Structure 1
């Protein structure tokens, strides 16, 4: 029976068919290592904790993450000696209902007529889509999916304590950002990628603000309160992810990781998280956007081109009308396709283009924070929609 994770009813169909195939684990360390191998921690799912193969060839990246996320939650549930599917669905819905309390938008999207399986589908859809506008969504999507693992940690806490609050998420997010900041501070060589990595993590936070982390208390934050073994392993993994952004662990960084693992009370045999990460990157580096170290900005532009192309196409008539009133802008856009513009010419293009975006509701996304990054993509599409009559105008 074919599963389509983008159609209503997929969770019930998937669990009816594969619940018995989803693995359970004897220790937290075994579970975490399986999560590493699945790729969920890195925002790129390649397997689903299944004992048998599943045909996922027709699933896109987001659909794979949906199934991987659901499978991970159920694998955790089974590892706590609970196996009933219906009880799992009720438990996970109660978990999200408890932490919503008016704070999450997804709770308002759930219709009364939806059954428990469909409610969970709505929740998972929302957890994978924290940003509504095209700028932030495409820029932070891969990181948001990596931070999705905090939900797994929170669900474990809920299963142990039968309670949860948003404070749990805030604390783990703050610890993640603190360890990222600390790891970046000890790197021998910082690159533009490191700054971009930090910015993407910051943009993907749901409940915390990086500005509220005092530099003098960074390492103290990491060790605040009680932490589960899974949380310790995850924080240790976040440190590895940060330090491996350039593909190399230097001696000073290696010493930091060793000391950090010891302070997290991770025994030596379980400090293999970095090795699993290296193996995962090595195997999937061409497909893994989070660790596409050479072209992180290129990855961002690739993710947005299709969406901007659709926006330009839908607003073609209005755009042409607005452009026809600005012959100077058209000349510069045409010129940009043949030669580089001067600094002053680029400033003119940006200013006049943003003025046009103000008049077309669908294009106001370019006025949002970060929207300026997308202007080169918009400029790329505009000459393609200009009618030949504009060539004559250029001679005026």
Structure 2
């Protein structure tokens, strides 16, 4: 299993996937439609466009974003260069990101001169999938995904075609995206409960601009002359479409907005219709999983998200945890007692101390070693009995 939380995951991706043996796309629209089907365009990835398929289950949201980012950049490289060599791709990707110097991001400061290109790209992707929110805000927010990762893919295309990057490309594309999304939200016939969260999603994703309409009142006020290829235009149509969606439909007035935008972008009506249908089907199918369509108490959201992450880490490390636990007699005895009665304060303290020692030996559980990580230990303890052999759980004894 590819583990994007550990060093060496990019090399393992290419070893397991062997993508160089796969046919290369030659059509940009086909590339875009396949990418959109994964959810990458909307900042909510539901699958990976890979052969063989890479499972989504038992992965943290950040890990899913990393795999999606790597695969989409690689497929853009294959499409543009008609080359499947992963070594060439990785060198091009690192060279591309070395051209960027956004505020608070300088990959050269974070890399040792002797590190491999793939390890450099791992560090870069780790930074790029992050939003601009601080850690505390992310923990208590529904919106933890960088929704504008596809802008990186569009910029990478420019770099591959020209060997350089147009001046302030990111700034201009971001400004156009935020203007279109803002205008879309203002054009809705009714206010949806998810509109505030959707706006927060984009506010937390922009790196170079403030989320603002900048005085834009109608589509005619939009300056879209900077856009130079269909992929950029397709992207705008879909982002406008997901902004306009509410209550399992897009009203006639909102359809008119999309068709008017498509006309200004010189995009065929068939694509607009396909975009409306796809977005409706996608949201209806995945609405319960998409953060910005679910509004709940932020503290509850933090607890639910943390609990889910802990469960994933425990399942992933189940065998190693059981082995480590079996080598600690006192801890095993205390855990056995926890299945029959409530432990006292001193016993719980011993469990926490020894579990922290165990976490040091399991890399994926380093979350518990971070400042404040001990607060998550009660959640870990809650699920520990499910990992123990059945002899420690009397409820499993049927004889």
With normalisation by structure 1, the TM-score equals 0.70
Q: Secondary structure at the match of 2:245?
A: helix
Matches within 5 A, 1:4-153: 4-18=3-17, 19-20=19-20, 24-80=24-80, 81-100=82-101, 104-131=105-132, 133-138=134-139, 142=143, 144-153=145-154
In structure 2, what is the equivalent of residue 163 of structure 1? 164
For residue 303 of structure 1, report the CA deviation from its aligned partner.
4.2
Of the structure 1 ranges 86-95 and 208-217, higher mean CA displacement relative to structure 2 is found in 208-217
**1:217 and 1:244 mapped to 2: Cα distance?**
19
For residue 87 of structure 1, report the CA deviation from its aligned partner.
0.7
**Structure 1 residues without counterparts, runs of 5 or longer:** 310-361, 364-396
**Structure 2 residues without counterparts, runs of 5 or longer:** 308-370, 373-399
For residue 273 of structure 1, report the CA deviation from its aligned partner.
1.8
**2:46 and 2:183 mapped to 1: Cα distance?**
30
- 8 Å contact kept, 2:177–2:236: yes
Matches within 5 A, 1:264-279: 264-271=265-272, 272-279=274-281
1:304 matched to 2:276: no
Q: Secondary structure at the match of 1:100?
A: coil
Q: Secondary structure at the match of 1:146?
A: coil
For residue 247 of structure 1, report the CA deviation from its aligned partner.
3.2
- 8 Å contact kept, 2:128–2:149: yes
Task: Mark the CA change 1:195 to 1:46 in structure 2 (over 3 Å): closer, same or farther.
Answer: closer
- 8 Å contact kept, 2:185–2:243: yes
- 8 Å contact kept, 1:243–1:253: yes
Q: Secondary structure at the match of 1:210?
A: coil
**1:215 and 1:47 mapped to 2: Cα distance?**
36
- 8 Å contact kept, 1:237–1:273: yes
**1:284 and 1:101 mapped to 2: Cα distance?**
33
Pick from 273, 284, 287: which aligns with 1:285? 287
Of the structure 1 ranges 150-159 and 133-142, higher mean CA displacement relative to structure 2 is found in 133-142
Task: Mark the CA change 1:263 to 1:23 in structure 2 (over 3 Å): closer, same or farther.
Answer: farther
**2:259 and 2:35 mapped to 1: Cα distance?**
22
For residue 14 of structure 1, report the CA deviation from its aligned partner.
0.6
Cα deviations across residues 375-394 of structure 1 (Å, max 9, x unaligned)? Answer: xxxxxxxxxxxxxxxxxxxx
For residue 259 of structure 1, report the CA deviation from its aligned partner.
1.7
Cα deviations across residues 296-339 of structure 1 (Å, max 9, x unaligned)? Answer: 344x4444337999xxxxxxxxxxxxxxxxxxxxxxxxxxxxxx
CA RMSD of aligned residues (A): 2.7
**1:238 and 1:222 mapped to 2: Cα distance?**
17
Q: Which structure is higher in helix share?
A: 1
For residue 82 of structure 1, report the CA deviation from its aligned partner.
1.8
For residue 31 of structure 1, report the CA deviation from its aligned partner.
0.8
**2:76 and 2:306 mapped to 1: Cα distance?**
39
With normalisation by structure 2, the TM-score equals 0.69
**1:308 and 1:277 mapped to 2: Cα distance?**
29
For residue 62 of structure 1, report the CA deviation from its aligned partner.
1.9
Matches within 5 A, 1:340-351: none
Q: Count matched residues.
A: 306
**1:86 and 1:270 mapped to 2: Cα distance?**
35
**1:184 and 1:96 mapped to 2: Cα distance?**
32
Of the structure 1 ranges 39-48 and 82-91, higher mean CA displacement relative to structure 2 is found in 39-48
